[in-house]
Structure 1
Amino acid sequence: MLSGHAPASAHATLGTMSAVIHWPLPYVETLAPRALAAIDLVVLHCTELPDLASAREYGERVLYPGGGGNSGHYYIDRDGRSYRFVPEDRVAHHTRGYNERSIGIELVNRGRWPHWLDSRHQDMTEAYSEAQIDALRELLSALRAALPNLHGIAGHEDLDRERVPASDDARISVWRKRDPGPQFPWDWALHDLPLQRLRPAATQD
């Protein structure tokens, strides 16, 4: 198991959540604390990696002087199992410009892996599983009930609108972030949930 940290047993969290596997990142105590009342947004991502183990490896990498790295708060595997890497009262680094106010949820999905910025490989063809979307809906419902100011939801692609040179041809630009991407079933995922999709006109840095 990575870094010697085995997942804890599944346990109930956030009231109505049936089971989340609590698996804190090794550096979680170095992440900035925050009040739960500061959270008004969920940002949905896909890992753009082949499996949960790869996502965990990426999440454990220390990238900042303070000791933290990039990760979401929650990860949902293809079989619907949900993992909490970072508690809600800590700021996770998952969406630039929005971290302090948001919860990041990552769904395991290949996305554009392994040619993320190659202009010839921008299609995101892997569908999300029914188990993933059911687990996501349960998690969103529990978060909405537990966090008094949570009213918004967005995809990473809605908030990061930067285009960058393609890795195969710098004359071509591609979206820096495309997740959760065209395969994500927004209508199904948000049906009857009291969350409004946020789609700003301009990127915030």
Structure 2
Amino acid sequence: MPTKPDSQAPQVFPLAYESRLEARPLSQVDLVVIHCTELPDLTTAREYGERVLYPARADGSGGTGNSGHYYIDRDGRCQRYIAPDRIAHHVRGYNPRSIGIELVNAGRWPHWLDSRHQAMEEAYPDAQVDALIALLNALRADLPSLRLIAGHEDLDTAMVPASDDPDILVPRKRDPGPLFPWQRVLDEVRLERMQVGVTPPTPAKLRASGA
């Protein structure tokens, strides 16, 4: 019989561009950001992480893409794509100070910005949440400056035109979404939830402003 994945020990599978990401002292990290992949599986999430979105420049910088540091599959398997001492591109405005953790979850996939498909209905399995809690506690022990936790939706509250109707605004980011068990995580991890914005409203018609 297959053995249960060891969620206590993330497997290290660095992305090809990891060494080109800016280095940072671990003392700079005080925040962890929880995401969901909004993709069907870990294989697809890896493919997205491998995409080079920022072309290489003459000074040797660039040639990188968007990725979290850690990915946790539905069965609790945990993989590390980017080392914590590198700045990954995973959340607008907070990358230099944060670690990104991605939970495999379909979210709004494949109609991310369609106003008719904004529900996030996939629950987070116990094995996945247990692995997340274990990882958070390990990071908390390894990084004395780590004290804050946030959801992607807490930090990126932008509203954008819906893909099906530009007169409707939808949240740019909703992850980890309404089914993420915040209370369970906060009860078991000594981190304070950081919220800089309000929860994005449900899709709504823009008011005619004349502006």
Instruction: Calculate the TM-score normalised by the size of structure 1.
Output: 0.89
Q: Tell me whether 43-52 or 17-26 shows the greater mean CA deviation.
A: 17-26
Distance 2:75 2:52 in 1: 28
Find out whether 1:29 has 2:25 as its counterpart.
Answer: no
Alignment of 1:124-139 (within 5 A): 124-139=120-135
1:46 aligned residue (29, 36, 46): 36
Q: Does 1:180 pair with 2:171?
A: no
Q: Provide the C-alpha distance between the structure 1 equivalents of 2:13 and 2:186, rounded to a whole number of angstroms.
A: 26
**Identity in percent:** 65
Report the counterpart of residue 100 of structure 2 in structure 1: 104
Q: Would the aligned equivalents of 2:53 and 2:65 in 1 still touch at CA under 8 Å?
A: yes
**Is there any run of 5+ residues in structure 2 with no aligned partner, and where?**
56-61, 199-211
Number of residue equivalences: 188
Note the 1:42-121 alignment, pairs <5 A: 42-65=32-55, 66-121=62-117
8 A Cα contact 1:137 1:190, kept in partner: no
How far off is 1:191 after superposition? 1.1
1:120 is paired with a residue whose SS is helix
Contact 2:149 2:191 (8 Å CA) reproduced? yes
Letter aligned with residue 80 of structure 2: R
| SS class of match (1:131) | helix
Rounded Cα–Cα distance in structure 2 between residues aligned with 1:169 and 1:156: 24
Shift of 1:174: 0.1
- 1: CA distance, partners of 2:130 / 2:8: 12
Greater than 4 Å deviation, 4+ residue runs: none
Q: What is the CA–CA distance in structure 1 between the aligned matches of 2:74 and 2:90, rounded to whole Å?
A: 20
- Match of residue 141, structure 1, among 137, 140, 143: 137
Q: Give the TM-score normalised by the residue count of structure 2.
A: 0.87
1:148 CA displacement: 1.2
- Tell me by how many angstroms 1:193 deviates: 1.6
Name the structure 2 match of 1:165.
Answer: 161
